[in-house]
Amino acid sequence: MPELPEVEVLARHLDPLLRGRTVVDVDIVRPKILLTSSPGALQAALLGARFTRVHRRAKYLLFELETAAGTQCTVLGHLGMTGRMYVQPATAPVPKHAVISMGLGGEIFVFEDTRRFGRFTLDAKCLETLGPEPLEDAFDGARLLAGLRSSRQPVKLRLLDQSVVAGVGNIYASEALFRAGIRPTRRGCRLTLAEAGRLCAAIRSVLGEAVRLGSSLNLDWTGKDAAGGVFYYGAGPGDAVERFMVYDREGLPCVKCGHAIKRIVQAARSSFFCPDCQQ
DNA sequence: ATGGCTGTTATCCG
DNA sequence: CCGGATAACAGCCA
């Protein structure tokens, strides 16, 4: 489920559920998700620790804890492509693809991830190279343009580079470029300041709207019933919420001009755009 | 049913 | 150094 809005909505969901709760049991099912932290080190940090805050940076969930020893500690969670996190009753069966679970006394905090691209780790190195948070004031057209100019890549691929702007993924990159009227194949370093300003505004609006929409919905966090209703909201059966304007709409009419949406492949990933609105 | 596709990203090669 | 390809995985769809 993981781009900035989905991670932000999840952090807001988990914060009140976990804050103040104490970890009484830890089950690390897939130690590969720990990166460089050892299972023993993570176990030691978590066992007896109390959650003090859950928040987000880029696509990472940040779990702030006060350890049993009384020290402050941050655990990073990343959902990869298919990660989910939720709190379930202790009596419910732990899901097939659980990678780690933590007993909270009466309830269990579960991280499940079928493709196992996710992470749950004490290793904070991956935060060091992240670019600006797109929803913060410091992110503007000039800041974005500076990032776009650091290579000759197509602008779509620049947006996926987390050191340029943090939290944009494959779906919202296409959506933002559509809103800004910029073709994904344009070299990022060739954009004008005015175009970068439009793209910056488009990124902020598309991410901001998705956070607001996701926060307003009553989501099924386990996703067991609906066909993936939690992620990229509006996919649920009978749900009339508009989803995307170009992503996954190859051949369908552009919502603005009616021309058929095109799909191209860039760095082995699909990009979608309107050939008329995005010259 | 086989192969191509999927919301991520670290690493490997040319 | 740069940028594209691949690998890490499992499931879904045509």
Q: What tens digit of pLDDT does each residue of A141-198 get?
A: 999 999 999 999 999 999 999 999 999 999 999 999 999 999 999 999 999 999 999 9
Q: Please give residues of chain A from 109 to 168 whose alpha-adjacent beta carbon (CB) lies under 7 Å from any atom of strand B.
A: 117, 126, 160, 162
Looking at the predicted structure, is the pLDDT value of residue A237 above 90? no
**For residue A225, pLDDT beyond 70:** no
Q: Are A26 and A94 in contact (CB under 8 A)?
A: no
Q: Give pLDDT, residue A232.
A: 60
pLDDT tens per residue across span A15-48: 999 999 999 999 999 988 887 778 899 999 999 9
Strands (E), chain A: 25-28, 50-57, 60-66, 72-78, 83-89, 98-103, 107-113, 119-121, 262-266, 269-273
Structural tokens at position A224: 């067991």
Coil/strand/helix, residue A94: coil
Distance A81 CA to C10 C1' (A): 11
Per-residue pLDDT of A45-83, as tens digits, reads 999 999 999 999 999 999 999 999 999 999 999 999 999
Q: What is the pLDDT of residues A240-254, one digit of tens each?
A: 455 799 999 999 999
Protein CA A147 to sugar C1' C13 (Å): 38
> Phi and psi (nearest 5°) for A189?
-70, -10
pTM of the model: 0.94
Question: What is residue A69's predicted lDDT score, i.e. its pLDDT?
Answer: 95
Active site residues of A: 2-3, 59, 269
Half-sphere exposure of A235 (CA within 13 A, CB side): 14
A221 touches strand C (CB under 7 A): no
Strand B close to A266 by CB, under 7 A: no
What would the two tokens of residue A273 be? 């755009």
Q: What is the pLDDT of residues A77-109, one digit of tens each?
A: 999 999 999 999 999 999 999 999 999 999 999
A153 touches strand C (CB under 7 A): yes
